[in-house]
Structure 1
Amino acid sequence: MTKILTSQEAVASIPDNTTVASVGVIGWVTPDAVLKALGDRFAQTGSPRNLTFYFPCGTGDAQLIKGMDHVAKEGLMKRIVAGSYINPVDPRTGRRPELMRLIRENRIEAYSWPIGASMHWLREVARKSPGYITRIGLGTYADPAFGGGKFTARAEDDLIRRIEIDGEPLLYYPTWPLDVAIVRASSADEHGNLSWEDEALVSSNIGLVLAAKASGGRVIAQVRRMVKSGQRLASQTSVPGYFIDDIVVEPQMMMASETPFDAAYFSGRRQPLDHLPRPPMSADKVIARRAALEVRKHELSIFGFGASADIPLVMAENGKFDNGAGHEYWFTTEHGSYGGVVMSGWQFSANINPEAIMDGLYQFDVIDGGLCRFAALAFAQFDASGAVNVSKFGAANPGAGGFIDIAHNAQRLVFTGTFTTGGLETSFNGGRLTIVQDGKISKFAEAAESITYRVVDGVRNRGQKARVVTERAVFDVIEKGLRLIEVAPGIDVRRDVLDRMAYQPAEIVSPLPLMDSVLFEDFGLEQAPREAANA
C-alpha cells in the first residue's frame, strides 16, 4: 500500500551498502527534496554509509536545485555511476559542485557512462537480463581499451567490458540490482498512480521504477500534488501505483533553477516567440548564427548544450519561425522534448511550446536508430587524429552525456565552440571580428585528453558529413583531417588560426572565403552567406 510520507521519513529506512538510483536533467524532474533529505540525514547521523548512486543523467545543477550534489558526501557516497556530471561555478558562492571536488581528489569511485547506455541499461535490469550490449562507444573513453569510463583511481571494478560476437567487437554493461529508486512526477492519487502532466520531461523515471521493482527494491516518488482517484484519464497515468511504495508531496518544487514553474514547457500555455530571450552579441552568438545555416527544414535535428543550444534561439530572433514556419523545423534534444524551440542555459533540454514529450529510454531508441539525421554539438577539444572531446578536460569531468550516441548515429554533424578558451575576449564592429584577447588554451590540441567520439572514423567508415564552426574559422572534417573552408573578416589567418592550432589543417581552400559579415553584426541575420547557403 502506497504511503504518503515527508521527505525525511521516506529516506529514514535506507540502509548502509545499498544502491540508490535517481534521475533529473539539470534541474528538470529532479526529486530535489528527497535527495536533500538523504544528504541531511547523513550529515546529522552519519548514516547511511557506503552507498552506490546511479544517475542516468546529471541530476540537478548544483545551484538552486542541487540534486546529486546533496548526496556528494564522503562516507555517504562510496560509488557513483552517472551519465553526465555538471561543473558550473555557483554565482552566489563562487564554488564548484562538491561532487567535482570528490572526483578530482579521488575520494569516491566515479564512473561515467554515455547516457544512451545508462538509459538502455535500465531495461536490461528491469527484464533481468545479464547486461546491455552495444557497439556505440567503441574507441572512446567508455571502451576498456581507453579507460572503461573510470573517472577516479578508486574506480577499479570493470563495469564496462569489451566482448566479441560473431567477430564483431562490442561493449557489454553487466547488470546489477537497484535497491531504491527516487523519482519525480507531477501528481499521484491515493493509490500511488503517477502522471507527468505538467513536467517538461519524463526522462528515465519510468525505467528507474521498473528496474528497482524487478530488483526487489523500493520506489519513492516525489510529486507536486495529490489528486483524487479517477480524476485523470487512465491514458494519462504513466506508472501504476502497484509499483510505488512511498509518496512525498512537495507543492513548491521548481521546474529548473531559473524557472519555478512555466506551463509553456509542456504546452499548458503557448509562449509568443517574440518573448523568447535574445542571446547577447558574443562569440557564441556568431557561432550559433553560422551553425544555423546548416539547419534544414523537415529534418529531425538534435541540439546539444552550449552554443549549439543557441541555434534555435537565433533562428527565432531572425524570424525563421514566424507565421507558423516553426512547424517546418523539427527540433529535439536528447531528453525527449519535440517541436517548439529548444532553450539554452539552465532551461536546456526542455523546449518552449513542445508538440510531444517522449520517455527518455525511447528517445535514445530514436537517437540510436539514426532518426536524428542532423546534430549540432559543442566541443572542448578537436585533435590531430580527428577525435573530439567533451567528456574530460582540465579540471572538468562532465562525461559524455548523450554526445556519443548522437554523434555516432547522425548523418550530418556540426561541432560548435570558440576557437580558444580561458580568457577569450572579442569585439565586433562593421561586420568584422576583433580578437581583443585570445584564450590561453587552444581547443585544437595535438591529442585530446579524453576521446568522446572519433569523428574521422565516422566520416571515413560510415559516410558522415561533419563540420566544425568557431567564431573565427569554419572547417570541414575529411578523411585526412580538417579542411579550412572559411575565416572571419578582420582576423589574420596565420596569426589567429593556424598558429593557434597544435597541428595544421590537412587542406586549406584556395581562395579562402570569408564568413559573411552579417554574422558579426549586432542585429538579426537576414540571409545566409553565399559560400554556405547550399552546404
Structure 2
Amino acid sequence: MSKIVDAATAVASIPDGSTVGCVGVIGWVTPDALLKALGERFRKTASPKDLTFYFPVGTGDAQGIRRMDHVAQEGLMRRIVGGSYINPVDPTTGKRPELMRLIRENRIEAYSWPIGATMHWLREVARRSPGYMTRIGLGTYIDPENGGGKFTERAQDNLVRRIDFEGQSYLFYPTWKLDTVFIYASSADEEGNLSFENEALVSSNIALILAAKAHGGRVIAQVRRAVPHGTRPASEVRIPGMFVDAVVVDPSMMMTTDVKFEPAYFGGERVPLSQLPPIPMSADKVVALRASKEVRKRELSIFGFGAAADVPLVMAEQGVFENGSLKDYWFTTEHGSYGGIVMSGWQFSANLNPDAILDGVYQFDAIDGGLCRFAALAFAQFDRGGLVNVSKFGVANPGAGGFIDIAENAERLVFTGTFTTGGLDVAFADGKLRIVKEGKVRKFVNKTEHITYSVIDGVKRGQTARVITERAVFEIAAEGLILTEVAPGIDVRRDVLDQMEFAPWKVADDLKLMDEAFFLDMPCQARAS
C-alpha cells in the first residue's frame, strides 16, 4: 500500500503531550506543509495539545516561509528546544515572529542548545544511550551554572547537567524520545524510499529519522515529487522506505526564502560568479572587506551568519577567485556545504556552486574535531572580561546556533560587526569614514547580557582572535583588547574610546590606519585595481 498521503492525514494521529522533531535550516530543507497542517489541526480542533517541539536548527523565516511560527500557538506548544531561533522584523507587518512573542512573554517553556549539541544528541538518542557528554559550552549560557539554556521562567526542568568524569567537568544532555519527526527530501517512491538529489543541505534529516525509529516513533516526510519504485539507483536513496511511515508530496514548496528552485545550490549546474550582484556600500561591507584580509588559501574557513558571511562575496566581487582560483579557498558553514561561495542573508547556510555536502551531524564532527581552523563570526556584545554574546540581547533571543562549537575549536577567530547598532548611519568620501549618526546601542559593554563564548579563555589556550568593525580593529590578548587599527577620518577618542563602556587594555603604540581602499564607494573590482 502506498505511503503517500495528504498533509492533514499525515499529522492527524499525533497525540496530545507527544514530542515532535523537525528538520530545517532557516528556509532550507524545511517541511512547511507539515508544520502548517499541524498548526491548522490545532486551530480547528484544539488538538493535539501540550506538545514538545525539537528543532535542531531554527527553521523558517517567520515571513514567507513561516515554519516554526505555524506551531507557535499557546496550548499546542508547551515546550520548545531549539538550536537557534528566527528573530527578524517582518518588513510588511513590523512584527517579530510569534514564537519570539511567546518566549518574551513567558508563555511556553523555551530552551536553547548549541547546534553541535542538538545534532550530536540525536545520535545518542538513536543509539539509546543515556545521553550526550561534551566539554564544549562549559562556562557559557548552556552551562547549568549560567542558566542551562533556559530562555523562559517556565523552563524549570534541567535538560542539561554538569557532571564530573575522571577528574574533569562535562556537560551532559540526557536523552529522551521523539514520538514523531518531520523531515524533508527531494523524492520519494510509494514505499517511502527517500533521496536528496535536489537539496542544498541534508542537515539533521538522517539523525532525526534514526532517533525516532530507535524508540518506536513515526517518520513523516515532505518531498518535492513522487517517483516510481526502482527508478533511482540505490546509491542515491539515502533513507530506506522501511524507516518512513508517511510521505506528503508538495511540488510547490520553496527551496528557501526568495528561491523557488536553483540547481547551483546543490551542484546541479554552475553559476558564473560574475552574475553575483555587488554588495551595496555600507558599514557591513567595510567590515567584510577588512575581514577578507584574514582569509588564507587552502585553510578550511567557516563563516557564521551576519557580516561574516559577506566575506566570500566581497572576495568574489574583487575578482580573487578568477582563473580557477576559487578551488584554492576552502569555504564552509555549520550546515555542511563545502566549496563554492558562502551566501549571506536569507540564502545563508548553503553555498553557491558547492563541491560537496555533508550530513549535519558529520559536519559538527568536523567542527568539533578542529578541522575548521579559521572562523569568521558575528558578535552582538563584547565585554571587558573578554566574553562575547550573540545568543540573547535586548528583545532578540536567537540562541547560539553553531557559534559555540565553531569558536571553541577554531585556531584563528575573527569577530565581525558594526561598532554600535540601532540607527548607525555612516558616509564615505575620499577613502574616509564619517559617522553621520551614532548607533543608539553600544556593543562594547561592561558585562554581556548572555555568555556565548569566552574569547579570553580561548586566547589562553592558544587561539588568536581579532574584532573587526567598520571603524576599528582590535587584537585580543590574555589581558584584554588592544586597539591596533582605526578607519581614516575617525577620531579615536570621540568615535572609538568614548563609544565603549570600558577602556581597552591598551592602544597600540604603532596604531595603524585601515586601508583607505575599504572606504571607497565604488565596485570592489575597481577598488582592487
Asked if these proteins are the same fold (TM beyond 0.5), I'd say yes
Q: Aligned equivalents of 2:526 and 2:81: distance in 1?
A: 46
Instruction: Give the letter for the 1:197 counterpart.
Output: E
Contact kept, 8 Å, 2:484 with 2:510, in 1: the verdict is: no
Alignment of 1:378-393 (within 5 A): 378-393=378-393
Size of the aligned set, in residue pairs, is 528
**CA shift digits 1:470-502 (9 cap, x unpaired):** 000000110001000000001100000001101
Unaligned segments of structure 1, at least 5 residues? 530-535
Alignment of 1:253-272 (within 5 A): 253-272=253-272
Alignment of 1:482-501 (within 5 A): 482-501=481-500
Q: Aligned equivalents of 2:524 and 2:447: distance in 1?
A: 36
Cα distance 1:224–1:526, how it changes in 2: closer, same or farther (>3 A)? closer
Matched, 1:118 2:118: yes
Which residue of the partner structure matches residue 216 of structure 2? 216
Contact kept, 8 Å, 1:2 with 1:244, in 2: the verdict is: no
Matched, 1:433 2:461: no
Identity of aligned residues (%): 70
Secondary structure at the aligned position of 1:513 is classed as strand
Pairwise CA distance, 1:384: 0.5
Q: Aligned equivalents of 1:508 and 1:437: distance in 2?
A: 25
Which residue of the partner structure matches residue 469 of structure 1? 468
Query: C-alpha root-mean-square deviation of aligned residues, in Å?
Result: 1.1
Q: Aligned equivalents of 2:35 and 2:248: distance in 1?
A: 12
Contact kept, 8 Å, 2:520 with 2:527, in 1: the verdict is: no
Which residue of the partner structure matches residue 41 of structure 1? 41
Matched, 1:331 2:307: no
**CA shift digits 1:325-366 (9 cap, x unpaired):** 000000000000000000000000001000001000000000
Matched, 1:280 2:284: no
Q: Aligned equivalents of 1:63 and 1:351: distance in 2?
A: 22
Q: Aligned equivalents of 2:84 and 2:215: distance in 1?
A: 24
Q: Aligned equivalents of 1:148 and 1:200: distance in 2?
A: 33
Contact kept, 8 Å, 2:485 with 2:514, in 1: the verdict is: yes
Q: Aligned equivalents of 2:513 and 2:2: distance in 1?
A: 64
TM-score (norm 2): 0.99
Contact kept, 8 Å, 1:36 with 1:71, in 2: the verdict is: yes
Secondary structure at the aligned position of 2:96 is classed as coil
Pairwise CA distance, 1:51: 0.1
Q: Aligned equivalents of 1:405 and 1:512: distance in 2?
A: 33
Contact kept, 8 Å, 1:2 with 1:245, in 2: the verdict is: no
Q: Aligned equivalents of 1:526 and 1:98: distance in 2?
A: 42
Secondary structure at the aligned position of 1:467 is classed as strand
Alignment of 1:301-450 (within 5 A): 301-450=301-450
Secondary structure at the aligned position of 2:36 is classed as helix
Secondary structure at the aligned position of 1:471 is classed as coil
Contact kept, 8 Å, 2:476 with 2:482, in 1: the verdict is: yes
Q: Aligned equivalents of 1:5 and 1:189: distance in 2?
A: 12
Which residue of the partner structure matches residue 504 of structure 2? 505
Contact kept, 8 Å, 1:301 with 1:375, in 2: the verdict is: yes
Pairwise CA distance, 1:191: 1.4
Secondary structure at the aligned position of 2:445 is classed as coil
Pairwise CA distance, 1:511: 2.9
**CA shift digits 1:389-435 (9 cap, x unpaired):** 00000000000000000000000000000000111000101000000
Which residue of the partner structure matches residue 80 of structure 2? 80
Secondary structure at the aligned position of 1:511 is classed as strand
Pairwise CA distance, 1:134: 0.2
Pairwise CA distance, 1:527: 11
Which residue of the partner structure matches residue 533 of structure 1? none
Pairwise CA distance, 1:510: 1.5
Matched, 1:128 2:128: yes
TM-score (norm 1): 0.98
Secondary structure at the aligned position of 1:405 is classed as helix
Pairwise CA distance, 1:169: 0.5
Which residue of the partner structure matches residue 246 of structure 1? 246
* Segments ≥4 residues shifted beyond 2 Å: 523-529
Which residue of the partner structure matches residue 183 of structure 1? 183
**CA shift digits 1:307-339 (9 cap, x unpaired):** 100000000000011111000000000000000
